[in-house]
């Protein structure tokens, strides 16, 4: 599909939609479109990284285990840690919020087990 000043142009062949995508084991979004709205983790727990530097997997896991909550304020540029319903640990750096939506954009690192590096 292409949008331009002449309208919408559809491809002759429709796109293929996969129905077997893996299910997300957590969903992070703002609770409202307000600029200062906290982030909400559905099926997971969040914590804001307090220290300087970048946390390791174990530091993120420990932080969430001791301070994790479903709703946490994590401003743009700050790091948060997330544990998911499938025991994954995620480090996320918030990069932006859409002004008129509940969306959050972030750079993420996901660890699936203590022995595994970034994935």
Closest to 71 in 3D by CA, of 55, 82, 61 = 82
Domain-embedded: residue 16: no
Tell me the per-residue pLDDT of 61-118, one tens digit each, with 9 for 90 and over: 999 999 988 888 888 888 999 888 777 888 989 888 877 778 888 888 888 766 544 4
Tell me the per-residue pLDDT of 49-69, one tens digit each, with 9 for 90 and over: 998 999 999 999 999 999 988
Look up the pTM and report it: 0.69
Domain-embedded: residue 1: no
CB neighbour burial string for 85-102, b if at least 16 within 10 angstroms, e if fewer: eeebbbbbbbeebeeeee
The separation between the first and the last C-alpha atoms of the chain, rounded to the nearest angstrom, is 31
Average confidence (pLDDT) over 9-29:
63
Domain-embedded: residue 9: no
Domain-embedded: residue 68: yes
CA distance 81 to 103: 17
CA dist 59 → 9, 28, 94 (Å) = 49, 20, 18
Q: How many domains does the chain have?
A: 1
Length of the chain: 119
CA dist 83 → 44, 73, 115 (Å) = 5, 16, 16
CA distance 71 to 62: 17
Parent domain of 60: 25-111
Domain-embedded: residue 82: yes
Domain-embedded: residue 31: yes
């Amino acid at each position: 599909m292409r949008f331009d000043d002449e309208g919408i142009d559809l491809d002759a062949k429709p796109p293929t939609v996969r129905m077997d995508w893996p299910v997300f084991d957590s969903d992070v979004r703002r609770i409202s479109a307000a600029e200062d709205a906290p982030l909400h983790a559905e099926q997971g727990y969040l914590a804001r990284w307090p220290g300087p530097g970048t946390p390791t997997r174990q530091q993120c896991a420990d932080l969430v285990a001791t301070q994790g909550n479903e709703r946490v304020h994590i401003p743009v540029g700050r790091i948060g840690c997330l544990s998911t319903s499938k025991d994954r640990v995620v480090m996320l750096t918030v990069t932006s919020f859409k002004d008129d939506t509940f969306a959050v954009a972030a750079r993420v690192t996901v660890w699936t087990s203590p022995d595994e590096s970034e994935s």
